[in-house]
Amino acid sequence: MEKITARQLNGRHVEKIVLRSVVLSVCIVQVRIDGVPHNVVDEQGAIVRFNGAEHANNVLAKLTTDRAVLVHQSPYGEMAGQPEDSPTAPLEVDFNWRAG
């Protein structure tokens, strides 16, 4: 997957923003530009961890998009009646991205 910094995204328009839940209130952001997915990274190339979707939206507020989604992959499918050995499909819901 390609990498892009928050500074490089400032004022850009992307096709899609994916806010991927990692643990509890931590998420990472991926953007799709010209069909190519990019992880949002810091200046050293490490993936940026945001303290939730609102934090990501505030930091990347000058980024516009056609669509934004929250994605959560749960390792606890058996708690919702899924077999223990089967992978649980990720939950993807639309997110209202506010551009400033």
Residue 90 tokens read as 């990720």
Give the mean pLDDT of the chain.
Answer: 90
Residue 78 pLDDT more than 70? no
Condensed to tens digits (0 to 9), the pLDDT of residues 21-66 reads 988 789 999 999 999 999 999 999 999 999 999 999 999 999 999 9
* pLDDT above 60: residue 15: yes
Residue matched to tokens 């643990």: 23
Q: Domain ranges in the chain?
A: 2-78+87-94
Q: Given this model, what pLDDT does residue 61 score?
A: 94
Cα torsion 32, 45, 25, 75: sign: positive
Could you tell me what percent of the chain has a pLDDT over 70?
Answer: 85
3-state secondary structure of 35: coil
